[in-house]
Structure 1
């Protein structure tokens, strides 16, 4: 029999007392704990002193009452006096003792006789009861056999009828018959219903405790739901969840609970967890997706792939609609890079199991998100705009299956990158050293300034200002702490630029504070999303390889990029909280009209550290940016850059923190953002070469026939050996040979060279599958989806030498349609008319 808690404690105290050394240590600890918790009167506040005096008064009153009662009892109790008087002879003293003993024996005898009579009476009573029960059992056996046969006949008939029922509704109706009052009051309600209906008994699983404890299981479940490949963080200021007065930013699930449970069991086979316990311990701020969540940012790659899977599942071509199950059926492991990239020998030939089509399914419709240009009328003029629209595509089942196979090649690599980057993010934080700091940064959506009272023209006009918020979370690990400490921050600026110069102007006060408060830190790990217009580009790489060492005197640095479309995190929650708090202050009567008002209104309202930037802070960083930067080929595929030497970066496709980010895993390559003087001389010679107008026009006509590289091969491919060492292998072109120079320029076209103001030739397809070549000027860099914002020119005369920019003719064109980068045209002004001469 198991011991009770009291018996265990008693045994523990006896064991402790038997060991003098341990007993002395326990008493010493108890005394130290007593003195540590004891609070002297001089350390108390006035209120605490009054409360403790009231308790002392009550305790003393009770003590005096107890003493008074004890004294009264002692007063009424007569004192025991020794035997006194005349001496008694030994003979008389012996006779009295014998008489007392005889009297005691006689009284005991009478008591025993009385108990014996009672036992005889009880024995006769139970004997008669047994005899009566024995006779009734013989008589009722015959009756019970009759009733038992009737019960079996009825029970068998009900079982057969229950098995013949097909609908769940009829079975539930039959169960309700047995849930009457008499059965409902019985303790055997469930067993009676199951026995009567012929339902198999449920197997009662023996509860097994987890070897690592209940708290370990709960922590694993919560950390699983917080992963970026399981749930997505929201950035909207209204997307919050409050539970027990705790308000947190909402996260949206990316799969069903059953699918996530299966993934959790595969990843943690050593943990014993049921599905109900898994659901019970889901964090309250993690919610399934809903139609009302309109501000939720979804990944375009995942969404379009899920639309195709749903369409095939609806036509019963696929057995499941779960994307995770579908991918898991085609690979050995979703955590193996060779499997997810199609290089595994074992699963390279695995294909999706499709149901054989009968050929009469007809056309299938499915939805997909695409970018589409539309003509709208604005201020009496027609303007071309590009929108992300959801369209319905139509095709045969065979076409849709082929489309799914092509989509899965990119999707599997996309999912693998998400998992590895998130795993690296957790490794960087969980295994943080004392000399390291992790900064997770991101630009929050610009805040629209508001007034408590606004006129109509201000509300509907363009007078409203915007404030740039660069938010982030800092993780450090002071000495003696087991877990990292978390601090959130936000830098505010009226400049709405998000380029690398602005990024480092926003990071400057944060890094300076790290230097001031944590002088022992020598390594910084940056984490951010990867847009090519902000963090993942050559200008940011230059600042990372120079400013960290020259200006801030750190020894090592890494910058890690999340997968495209999956960069939401804690930094977005900081921005949502600040904007939500600002709206609450405006609703209470405050005016937030600019960046300074936003800063001074919110700087003392929370633990978020806030910093205000000026226009000059950003301009100082911009002036330090050189112009001869070398682009990094394969930038969109790079997810980690790191260095421990100034002016040089190491980069690789995915992040790795097996040696705190500075290992040689995945064969990292070297990149220098600043070119050597040889290339500068070569570039000056090419730029100094001038062509006349007719030769330029001839070049434009010849460019169309030259083959070009696609956007995928240029951006998503790793850099080749020739581009790793371009300085020593490229020879200077002959200036006299114009065609050779054009070929070299076309070979060097790279997305990093596409920026605002660069003139290019664009191939545009018509409705009848005809292709035309137009002159245009880029208004943006290449975004994550491979599109460039282009403003087109139109021809003014038939000679083909005069062009005019059409400001309303702006469209997003794929990078694949860019044929060539051409020199900037000469501007000619005639009266009020401005032409571009080619």
Structure 2
């Protein structure tokens, strides 16, 4: 809104005609009908309403004219950028600087404003479904929340210069496992009258760097074997994943799910997807804690972690028992390489990116829907045809899984690079990091750039020292102005450095209220940050 402020300042007559919006939510509300009826609201959010829409966002002439004589404006937008990391090329979502005419900036903004309201609704809806399922988990059911953490980069406390450039990176897959308590394992028995849900963190460690559907299937097989070991035999497995194409959400992932789910011993698997770019948080925090403890152990000379097996042994010997009551235990598994059957391929599925719920059947067919539903008692009881939320969820529709007879080595197009939380950090990102001070739950930090590897030892403006080779993020802290109102003010002249794995949550523009060097959170966002910190 900085450009609009300048326009209105130069044209006082326009000040009563055009709004200055303080945040994205105010602007979105201007483009949808003001109604409390969810069904009508959904029609508005999907931009199918004849009354509301982006046309309600009025633009002065300076913002919509394609005049080449207008001065350029500086702005930023997220784009996927191809980067080289050693011999590999990766696709990373980054904040890219732009210098264009105002018309181009506002045209792009209107373009994303058309889809943002429904994206925001879907984000909230999918998260609500997970919470509702955990509150009402049927017996003989199990829930997993899955994601990859940033790879662990092995290093040595006394490494020589040549070793500094030849680091082994270890893949770390994180699964949050929710199930009913078993007396023999947990010391308490869950019952219908007294349900007790156990949360466990399940980690698969490997030097295999191919994060594909074969890796995630191996994880699911390992989880199934663990449940069998403790004599917990769920009939239905509910998965919640991000939308990464190569790992969970592609034609080959769906084909693999339909043809192999019975091997895991379940009657059915229901795979749910969080909205794009909203699956990060607690899983990254759990993985970050593992890497942070490993780093500290190496730095203090207590351990030597040179490969995946070393990391597994360290975790298995030291980190199985969490300190908090939120997690019952941590389970670690190690595999050197993932077995793959690269000759198995399947035909494409229409509108696959819109699908947020997939349910297996017994005849190589999947039932898919736009959104999940667990807030309806009929869906929790598997009476899906009687769903009370079908207007939001969308109608379930069958998808036939058809094998493709080909010996070619197909490559899945990665429309979503599966970025971890650290991949999304760039200049100006506001992150929540683990607080070293016992008086604070977390610190907020405005970053100066992407995470980096320190070429030399360094001490920040707060007197904290970091060794050469440490993976860190630099920036400035926000000081707490009011704990009651969750308001903070930037401390801009005192450089702060944190280990990258201390980052737990990224605050987006829609989650904060900004004014110059100050920001303010609402209570819901504050609680989301605290939830991401529940990792010890």
Q: Identify whether the pair has TM-score above 0.5, normalized to the shorter chain.
A: yes
Q: Report if aligned partners of 2:200, 2:331 keep a CA contact under 8 Å in 1.
A: no
Q: Give the C-alpha shift of residue 524 in structure 1.
A: 0.6
Question: Could you tell me which residue of structure 1 aligns to residue 441 of structure 2?
Answer: none
State yes or no: 1:540 paired with 2:257: no
More strand by share: 2
How does 1:110-129 map onto structure 2 within 5 Å? none
Q: Report if aligned partners of 1:442, 1:528 keep a CA contact under 8 Å in 2.
A: yes
Q: Report if aligned partners of 1:371, 1:386 keep a CA contact under 8 Å in 2.
A: no
Whole-angstrom CA distance in 2 between matches of 1:353 and 1:414: 22
In our comparison, the structure showing a higher alpha carbon Rg is: 1
Question: Could you tell me which residue of structure 2 aligns to residue 35 of structure 1?
Answer: none
**How many residue pairs are counted as aligned between the two chains?**
370
Select which of 410, 431, 444 maps to 2:149. Answer: 444
Query: TM-score if structure 2 supplies the norm length?
Result: 0.62
Question: Could you tell me which residue of structure 2 aligns to residue 814 of structure 1?
Answer: none
Question: Could you tell me which residue of structure 1 aligns to residue 267 of structure 2?
Answer: 555
State yes or no: 1:784 paired with 2:438: no
State yes or no: 1:638 paired with 2:341: no
Q: Give the C-alpha shift of residue 437 in structure 1.
A: 0.9
Q: Report if aligned partners of 1:562, 1:639 keep a CA contact under 8 Å in 2.
A: yes
Whole-angstrom CA distance in 2 between matches of 1:373 and 1:485: 41
Q: Give the C-alpha shift of residue 450 in structure 1.
A: 1.8
Whole-angstrom CA distance in 2 between matches of 1:523 and 1:784: 28
Whole-angstrom CA distance in 2 between matches of 1:331 and 1:543: 40
Question: Could you tell me which residue of structure 1 aligns to residue 174 of structure 2?
Answer: 471
Q: Give the C-alpha shift of residue 520 in structure 1.
A: 4.5
Give the SS at the match of 1:321. Answer: coil
Summarize the Cα distance change of 1:373–1:328 in structure 2 as closer, same or farther, 3 Å threshold: closer
State yes or no: 1:326 paired with 2:326: no
Q: Report if aligned partners of 2:174, 2:202 keep a CA contact under 8 Å in 1.
A: yes
After superposition, what is the alpha-carbon deviation per residue over 1:345-402, rounded to whole angstroms, capped at 9, x for unaligned? 44358612456769999435141235587999x99xxx99987462233214x55444
Question: Could you tell me which residue of structure 2 aligns to residue 455 of structure 1?
Answer: 160
After superposition, what is the alpha-carbon deviation per residue over 1:651-688, rounded to whole angstroms, capped at 9, x for unaligned? 1222222213762431122123333xxx75xx89xx9x
Whole-angstrom CA distance in 1 between matches of 2:146 and 2:81: 33
Q: Give the C-alpha shift of residue 432 in structure 1.
A: 1.1
State yes or no: 1:521 paired with 2:234: yes
Whole-angstrom CA distance in 2 between matches of 1:374 and 1:405: 26
Whole-angstrom CA distance in 2 between matches of 1:662 and 1:782: 35
Q: Report if aligned partners of 1:318, 1:354 keep a CA contact under 8 Å in 2.
A: no
After superposition, what is the alpha-carbon deviation per residue over 1:123-171, rounded to whole angstroms, capped at 9, x for unaligned? xxxxxxxxxxxxxxxxxxxxxxxxxxxxxxxxxxxxxxxxxxxxxxxxx
State yes or no: 1:339 paired with 2:44: yes
State yes or no: 1:578 paired with 2:290: yes
Summarize the Cα distance change of 1:315–1:485 in structure 2 as closer, same or farther, 3 Å threshold: farther
Whole-angstrom CA distance in 2 between matches of 1:385 and 1:614: 24
Summarize the Cα distance change of 1:400–1:628 in structure 2 as closer, same or farther, 3 Å threshold: closer
Q: Report if aligned partners of 2:244, 2:414 keep a CA contact under 8 Å in 1.
A: no
Query: TM-score if structure 1 supplies the norm length?
Result: 0.40
Q: Report if aligned partners of 1:370, 1:390 keep a CA contact under 8 Å in 2.
A: yes
Q: Give the C-alpha shift of residue 541 in structure 1.
A: 1.6
Whole-angstrom CA distance in 2 between matches of 1:385 and 1:448: 17
Give unmatched runs, 5+ long, in structure 1.
1-308, 688-752, 757-779, 787-838
Q: Give the C-alpha shift of residue 424 in structure 1.
A: 1.5
State yes or no: 1:365 paired with 2:73: yes
Q: Give the C-alpha shift of residue 631 in structure 1.
A: 2.0
After superposition, what is the alpha-carbon deviation per residue over 1:682-732, rounded to whole angstroms, capped at 9, x for unaligned? x89xx9xxxxxxxxxxxxxxxxxxxxxxxxxxxxxxxxxxxxxxxxxxxxx
Whole-angstrom CA distance in 2 between matches of 1:385 and 1:556: 35
Question: Could you tell me which residue of structure 1 aligns to residue 223 of structure 2?
Answer: 510
Q: Give the C-alpha shift of residue 557 in structure 1.
A: 1.4
Q: Give the C-alpha shift of residue 328 in structure 1.
A: 1.1
Question: Could you tell me which residue of structure 1 aligns to residue 397 of structure 2?
Answer: 669
Summarize the Cα distance change of 1:442–1:782 in structure 2 as closer, same or farther, 3 Å threshold: closer
- The one of the two structures with greater contact order (alpha-carbon pairs below 8 A, sep at least 6) is 2
Q: What CA RMSD, in Å, does the superposition of the two structures yield over aligned residues?
A: 3.5
